[in-house]
Structure 1
């Protein structure tokens, strides 16, 4: 049996689709809940750059963009050297309903890793997505 390759989390947010979309695709939004600052070139092939206090940074490559529906990107695998070319793919899907918006985030690509790297990256990101989605909800309700 292979390693788990997929993390999936969903959260319902009592906010309109447009507001949730802006939170996950704009520099202002991402720099408020995901990182401490962000730059976004919102187009397929564009990049998003995030920075955190303490000097950590990440750069994403936008792979999929369906306005107010789907936002997908590749990003470095946490715990691997910056020079490592392997990436995971993250996709946010937004679904509006009568009481707000459901956000589903799926991250794939962990099966390409060796056992120790897989365990660290998969476990870390499984925990990380729960925390980050909670921050998204807090940001949008704040």
Structure 2
């Protein structure tokens, strides 16, 4: 099956946010599991480790060769919305998520004919030391990471 063609992420400088909406040719429940279960998130995004399931779960996320950063599940509303708060700043990282040095990314899932619409919105860049640079960096990051999510789900459907 050919992968869905999805538009790139966009930066909204006025709201200090990055947004991307994609279509995935996979059932809603399967997409939900792949954006919430650490062993599945780790197959397409960063290596995620969480202490528990649901809102308030704490943990870390990281990529090979990079440091692990603190992460916390902010909202958990199966199977339609989950959000994570994570630290993005350069320099020494706090041991837990620092409200002043973090952004929140929210996945919203909607069932559509033939699959699932997933929207990610990352907010809070105005609280970082380099909002413009981080928004540009994360825009590219969401393009690459969500393309991997689509490839994973559509390649195994």
Task: Could you tell me which runs of 5 or more consecutive residues in structure 2 were left unpaired when the two chains were aligned.
Answer: 1-12
- The CA distance in 1 between the partners of 2:66 and 2:142, in whole Å, is 20
Q: Deviations over 1:110-131 (max 9, x none)?
A: 12234xx122211101111111
* TM-score normalised per structure 1: 0.87
For these two proteins, the number of residue pairs brought into alignment is: 138
1:9 aligns with 2:20: yes
Question: Contact 1:79–1:120 (CA<8 Å) still a contact in 2?
Answer: no
Q: How does 1:1-142 map to 2 (within 5 A)?
A: 4-35=15-46, 37-40=47-50, 41-83=52-94, 85-114=100-129, 117-142=130-155
Distance 1:78 1:140, change over 3 A: farther
RMSD of aligned C-alpha atoms? 1.9
- Rounded to whole Å, the distance in 2 between the matches of 1:23 and 1:103 is 12
List alignment gaps of at least 5 residues for structure 1: none
* TM-score for the superposition, normalised by structure 2: 0.79
